[in-house]
Amino acid sequence: MTMTPSRRRGAALAATLLSAAIVLTACGGDSADTEEAAPAETRSVTADNGTVTVPAAPQRVVTIGNTTLPLIDMGGKPVGVTEVGASEIDLIPADQKATYEAATSLGSSGDQVDMEKLAGLKPDLILAQLPDSEFEQIEKQLTSIAPTVFWGLDVEWKALAGGLSEAGNVTAGLTDQRAKFEAKIAKIKETYGKLIGDTSFVNVDRWESSDPGTFSVADFGCVEIAQDDIGMDFPKAAAGADPLGWTSLPFEQIAGLSKYDVITYPVDAAGKPKKSFAPVVETNTWKALPAVTSGRALGVFCPGNNSYGPVLQYLDSLDAALASLPAKE
């Protein structure tokens, strides 16, 4: 197509006006935009994806995977979250539940994050705890949106809580919680030291996803605190082997729990067997166990084990359970 001189002039005029409009628009930003462009204060945090430069005081934090509840527990207020199971949400305090519900839901799990929605939130920090393989798939997209701090699933809960508080700038809440935790551990060790030394424990569990007619000898979750921090003797998987709790055992094997002095099992906040565990306590085999008939099966409440708040609730429950233990015959 050819252009006449007058059309050419018109096109040149239009191009000039458009360019001017773009330049004026760019220059016409308000003072807030100018302030945003200024470099914010930053610091470095180290996690499983290396050393990451994050804002010193992040304002718009997004949590993915298992980082949501621990951050909220320490006083953080994420703007976006991946969903947490209803059974877990039911166990947290009302104010924390409100914080969770106020955040934008970004997907059902860490590997189902809606990236468009996430980018739309304009986060200044992303905190994620996921399986390594899932993080590898989304790492580039996340880091292109905001500084991203990642932990794998094998990180110890105290390290995760410390890392989250540092990255999310919620260290004030952590210091107080940590002091309470250490005091509680010391009290339990002092009060029940001899009993703990003389007793073999086993922790059993069952989840919503467990196959009907099966249970597990659980060696992960709150029981790790009882084992590692207090020194209680629970069965543990051999080094390098899968956790015992990953193996679903048929109810027929409940009788095998007879060899332990004390059984711990999960209860809700009211002290009743957790809904998913109720089928176990209803079996005749459970009712006939020596530990059960002698009052040495202890219901323990574990609202979570990824941050100090729920862990402190667990320790209170464990303390009360140990106090109720009848003397060994």
Q: Which residues bind other proteins (CB under 8 A)?
A: 85-86, 108-109, 208-209, 211-214, 247-256, 258, 275-276, 279, 283-285, 288-289
184 φ, ψ (degrees, to nearest 5): -70, -40
Q: Which is nearer to other proteins, 130 or 322 (CB)?
A: 130
Min CB(173)–other proteins separation in Å: 29
Which helix (H) or strand (E) segment is 52 a member of? strand 50-55
Min CB(109)–other proteins separation in Å: 6
Q: Which is nearer to other proteins, 198 or 282 (CB)?
A: 282
Q: Which is nearer to other proteins, 191 or 258 (CB)?
A: 258
Q: Which is nearer to other proteins, 85 or 197 (CB)?
A: 85
Give the integer Cα–Cα distance in Å for 306 and 148.
Answer: 19
How many residues belong to the chain? Answer: 329
Q: Which is nearer to other proteins, 245 or 309 (CB)?
A: 245
Contact present, 299 and 266 (Cβ < 8 Å) = yes
Give the integer Cα–Cα distance in Å for 311 and 303.
Answer: 7
Min CB(306)–other proteins separation in Å: 18
- Return the exposure string of 242-280: e unless at least 16 CB atoms fall within 10 Å of the residue's CB, then b: eebbeeebebeebeebeebbbbbbbbbeeeebbebbebb
Q: Report the helix count and the strand count for the chain, using DSSP H and E.
A: 14, 12
Min CB(260)–other proteins separation in Å: 14
Contact present, 84 and 60 (Cβ < 8 Å) = no
Min CB(276)–other proteins separation in Å: 8
Q: Which is nearer to other proteins, 102 or 288 (CB)?
A: 288
Min CB(31)–other proteins separation in Å: 44
Q: Which is nearer to other proteins, 84 or 167 (CB)?
A: 84
Tabulate helix, strand, coil % of the chain (nearest 5). Answer: 50, 15, 35
Helix intervals (H) in the chain: 5-27, 31-37, 68-73, 86-89, 94-102, 115-120, 132-145, 157-168, 171-198, 223-225, 278-281, 284-287, 290-293, 308-323
Contact present, 233 and 201 (Cβ < 8 Å) = yes
Q: What angle do CA 294, 298, 304 make, to 5 degrees?
A: 170
Q: Which is nearer to other proteins, 36 or 246 (CB)?
A: 246
Min CB(80)–other proteins separation in Å: 18
Min CB(202)–other proteins separation in Å: 14
